[in-house]
Amino acid sequence: MRRRLPGLLLCAPAAFVLGLCFVWPMLSLFRMSFYEGEGGTLIPAWSLATFTRLAEDPFVRDVTLDSLGLAAFCATMAVLLAYPMALFLFRTTSRLRGLLAIAAVMPLLVSGTARVIGWMALLSDQGLINQLLGAFGVPTQPLINNWTGVRIGLTESVMPYAILALIAGLGRLDRRVEAAAASLGAGPLTTFWRITVPMTLPAISAAWLLAFVLGVSAFITPKLMGGGRVFTLATEIFDAAMETLDWPAAAALSVYALLLLSLIVAAHAALTRRAGA
Amino acid sequence: MRGTLAVGLLGLACTIVPARAQAPGQVVLMAYPGIFQDNYVDTVTRPFSQASGTAVQYFPTTNSAQMLGTLRTQKGDPQVDVVIMDTTTAAAACAEGLVEPLTEAEMPVLKDVHQIARQAGGECGPGVTFDHFVMTWNTQTVQTPPTAWRDLWNPAYRGRISLSSPPDIQGLVLTAVLAHAETGDWRNVNSTFQKLREIAPLVQTFNPQPDSYTLVLNDQVGFATGWNARAQYYRDQSNGRLGVLLPAEGTGFQINTINVVKGSKNRAAAMAFVTYALSPDAQAAFTNRMFYAPTNTQARPSAEALGRTAAAPESMSKVVAIDWAEMVKLREAWNQRWRREVIAAGGR
């Protein structure tokens, strides 16, 4: 006990901040999901009415599937795009390695809103890409204010996180095994598919999960690039909280989203454990 | 308890209270930011301060929902004295007892406030500005100036239209105005949704970003829905590049109410400020600057300014009398129908 005390004391500030900034608000959120709301007015209660209403609404089911599908697509694309970059950054012995790593995660230094505004300038009907296409006689392509725009923006948005997770996980890649494969006659492609990829699977899996979780909870990109056509759990929560003032619904949807993500993360952890066993 | 719950719900760091203690002879006003703030300070709060000696601290807050969040978090210890917010949100604040009921006995200027503005506030603070729903269009790239909403049902405008869909209030007003034009009853929306389904494929965005006026000015779209006051402001700023139209089918009011926060530490000064804000002079000055129609029937803005608001007699006849208390009840059903019937038909 005496040994544990200093450790507990060291954890106390972080635990206090976590409790104040996360646990307490989440408990409050949980409590509010049982309130009743009428025309924006909050009525304190212990009622399951909001949960029942949401459970019976097929739109919530559709939004859930759309959110998960969008996040899965963007996480997959982000990992596919990030993997070669991370592998290069891991292997390169260039003096510019640090600089290149910073460049790869540079988007994180810019606010999400600013990045989205940049995409809007590029992808709009009068944007740079459509101007270029127009120069070759290609008619205007709707690249924004729809699902396409959100997929592009969100993939770019989560990619830096995927790169960081992959770089962190690539430490498990033992170059000697690759060299051994090559010495036994394996070509570069065979070595990549049969040695490199399997050895980096845990990193790929972790990067995908991180990008997926961020994708499910993303708000700015679907809201700003979706043109009002893309509904996700995050945009629904925003609309309920800020537009229709249905705070119990916003709280209930938040609790639902949290539980959903927790389940997915737990399932991923179980699968990873089983694969590792 | 409710305050902490509100923090938990929204994480509204932006609703942090004005970081100073209130001094006597001082009023904290919570209202909209940006050009509303700039012009309201110039035409209303500064003259009030000069005349009364009471300082007004303007606490800009992005939208009415955040204002409601602030009032809820501060219920036990209000740091704001007066709030200007949208009528639908103010109704919730009034019902929750976050703002005070006002009576003519205590505030005689209420006698001169337009009946629509009084009804908008219920027993609490009345409407302080009338704004109305308009169509904006790019006068440089649109060849044929529009006269009515029905002009937009034109395949030539595919991808050139921005409609703000519900839950944005503009989408609700558009639905009500079209329903009124078609059936004479703004609540009778079945055939209106059929019409909206037809225009949906022509729409570029149902959620203009950063706002509809910018999209029109940059020619990202040719036509958009908007609010008159801001549209008139941008029309002047752009030397007429932004056209503003009160369409033939009519328009609806968006009403901002002014309220004294319950438990205000500067109640007397707050009441004095609200009285001034509703006075003919302040109302006329703000109309002359920003083209919100006055809610005080005795206000006498310039003829030029008045002509650019819905208060002009020829415009007033086009205002559809939307009962916002009833609209709040219909809002969710209309919101769902927009998503399932209109936006779903407007794939891009």
Q: Mean of the pLDDT values across residues A173-199?
A: 91
Mean pLDDT of B260-267: 96
Residue B1 has pLDDT above 50, yes or no: no
CA–CA distance, B64 with B68 (Å, rounded to integer)? 6
**pLDDT band at residue B41 using 50, 70 and 90 as cut-offs:** very high
Out of A38-42, A225-229, A248-252, which region has the weakest mean confidence (pLDDT)?
A: A38-42
Calculate mean pLDDT across residues B327-339. Answer: 92
Is residue A2 very low, low, confident or very high in pLDDT (cuts 50, 70, 90)?
low
Question: How many Cβ atoms sit within 10 Å of the Cβ of residue B293?
Answer: 30
Local confidence band at B227 (pLDDT 50, 70, 90 cut-offs): very high
User: What is the mean predicted confidence (pLDDT) over A187-195?
Assistant: 92
Higher pLDDT, B274 or B24: B274
What confidence category does residue A274 fall into, taking pLDDT thresholds of 50, 70 and 90? confident
Q: Which residues contact residue B80 at a Cβ distance below 8 angstroms, ignoring those fewer than 6 apart?
A: B17, B18, B28, B29, B30, B59, B70, B71, B74, B261, B264
Predicted local distance difference test score (pLDDT) of residue A174: 87
A145/B92 Cβ within 8 A: no
Model confidence at B12: pLDDT above 50: no
Q: Which of B75, B62, B56 is nearest to B277 (CA)?
A: B56
Average pLDDT over residues B263-292: 97
Burial class of B161 by CB neighbour count within 10 A (0 to 12, 13 to 18, 19+): buried
Kindly tell me the sign of the dihedral angle through the C-alpha atoms of B277, B280, B285, B287.
Answer: positive
Asked if pLDDT for residue B17 goes beyond 60, the answer is no
Q: Strand B161-162 to strand B203-205: parallel, antiparallel, or no bridges (unpaired)? A: parallel
Q: Are A126 and A133 in contact (CB under 8 A)?
A: no
Range 224-263 of A in CB contact (< 8 A) with B: 224-229, 231, 239, 241-247, 250-251, 254
Question: Which residues in chain B touch residue A124, judged by CB atoms under 8 angstroms apart?
Answer: 220
Query: Among partner residues B6, B8, B218, which is closest to A26 by beta-carbon distance?
Result: B8
Strands (E), chain B: 26-31, 55-60, 82-86, 127-138, 161-162, 203-205, 223-227, 242-245, 251-260, 319-320
Contact B65 A241 (CB under 8 A): yes
- Scanning every residue of chain A, which has its alpha carbon at the shortest distance from the alpha carbon of B94? A41
Subunit contact A120:B206, Cβ cutoff 8 A: no
Average pLDDT over residues B261-271: 96
Q: Are B114 and B53 in contact (CB under 8 A)?
A: no
pLDDT band of A14, cuts 50, 70, 90: very high
Looking at residue A218, its pLDDT comes to 95
Q: Report the C-alpha gap between B123 and B90 in whole angstroms.
A: 11
Mean pLDDT of B54-78: 94
Average pLDDT of chain B is 91
For the stretch B196-223, pLDDT in tens is 999 999 999 999 998 999 999 999 999 9
Query: What pLDDT does residue B4 have?
Result: 46
Whether A20 and chain B come into contact, CB under 8 Å, resolves to no
pLDDT at B161 over 80: yes
Give me the mean pLDDT over the A160-176 stretch: 91
ipTM, two decimals: 0.86
pLDDT at A55 over 80: yes
Give the mean model confidence (pLDDT) for residues B168-177.
96
Per-residue confidence band for A215, with pLDDT thresholds at 50, 70 and 90: very high
- The three-state secondary structure class of A174 is coil
Is the predicted pLDDT of residue B153 greater than 90, yes or no?
yes
B211 touches chain A (CB under 8 A): no
Mean pLDDT, rounded, for A239-264: 93
Instruction: Note the pLDDT of residue B185.
Output: 97
Rounded mean pLDDT of chain A? 92
